[in-house]
Amino acid sequence: MKQRGLRLTVDGPVARVVLDRPEVRNAQTPGMWRALAEFGASLPTDVRVVVVSGEGPSFSAGLDRRLMTGETVDGEESLLALGTKPAAEVHATIAEIQAGFSWLRRPEIVSVAAVQGHAIGAGFQLALACDLRVVTPDVRFSMREPALGLVPDLGGTQPLVQLVGYSRALEICATSRWVEAEEARQLGLANIVVPAEELEATVKDLTDALLTPLPGAIRETKALLLGAADASYEQQLRAEREAQQRRLAELMGNIG
């Protein structure tokens, strides 16, 4: 299925999202975000891994800049026009587009970003929405929203802090500087850096490895890890006990 600048496919337990506007370095629009949300909401229950990538030399150059200069893109009004609307309407609109990213963190799937070239602003946040990031040596991350007078509002602030810590996250956002491949690996933004010609094969190997364990075990483990930072040690121990009880019960049911 191709719609609104995206190629969206499901092949058994693996779903793929390909940003497909290479002529503008896969610049994103609210229509793309809404299509992503719809795709996430409609995923078959047997999908276990989602791979997100970009067509061409760049993962994504972020928001289509024309939407910040009063122009319309594919019939969509300028994002600056939101500033003239009531607060409740602005909140509802942003929540709607945030849903295009937030589903990638659901416990029942593991999401993998295959990132090459530029990953700027919304592109950086889309990579951050994924659980794992495989990048090429030419990758360049940047959180450009503050440089435009905006804030990152697509769910990228929490995973950025979780990955690199508050102080480094603030520095990256406040300066809008580039984070290149080796630093991204050192900071934990990239799980692995591989040559461009090996990106597809590496993601395939990772996907195969993620499909090996029982889906229930991965689902429960991801949920435990997502909640760990906000739980006390005793709360986390209890969460582990409860998750293990559910796993044992399911395994006994399967055996029976």
AA identity, residue 149: G
Q: Are 126 and 98 in contact (CB under 8 A)?
A: no
Q: Could you give the percent of the chain with pLDDT greater than 70?
A: 97
pLDDT (tens digit per residue) in 174-197: 999 999 999 999 999 999 999 999
Query: Distance (Å, rounded) from C-alpha 164 to C-alpha 70?
Result: 35
Sign of the CA dihedral 60, 61, 63, 66?
Answer: negative
Which residue, among 165, 122, 129, 127, has the nearest Cα to 145 in the 3D structure? 122
Q: Break the chain into its structural domains and give their ranges.
A: 2-210, 215-255
Q: Are 96 and 76 in contact (CB under 8 A)?
A: no
* Whole-number average pLDDT of the chain: 94
Query: Distance (Å, rounded) from C-alpha 122 to C-alpha 144?
Result: 9
* CATH number corresponding to 215-255: 1.10.12
Query: Distance (Å, rounded) from C-alpha 216 to C-alpha 107?
Result: 10
φ and ψ of 177, to 5 deg = -75, 170
Q: Report how far apart, in Å, the C-alpha atoms of 251 and of each of 92, 100, 108, 246 are.
A: 42, 34, 17, 9
Kindly report the pTM of this predicted structure.
Answer: 0.94
Query: Distance (Å, rounded) from C-alpha 127 to C-alpha 133?
Result: 7
pLDDT top residue among 71 and 25 = 25
Provide, for the chain, the percentages of residues in helix, strand and coil under a 3-state DSSP scheme, each rounded to the nearest 5: 50, 20, 30
Is the predicted pLDDT of residue 74 greater than 80, yes or no?
A: no
Confidence grade of residue 256 (pLDDT, cut at 50, 70, 90): very low
Q: What is the pLDDT of residue 3?
A: 67
**Backbone conformation region of residue 53, classed left if phi is above 0, alpha if psi is from -120 to 50, else beta:** beta
Q: Report how far apart, in Å, the C-alpha atoms of 144 and of each of 78, 90, 132, 208, 249 are.
A: 18, 21, 22, 34, 48
Q: Which superfamily, per CATH, for 2-210?
A: 2-enoyl-CoA Hydratase; Chain A, domain 1 (3.90.226.10)
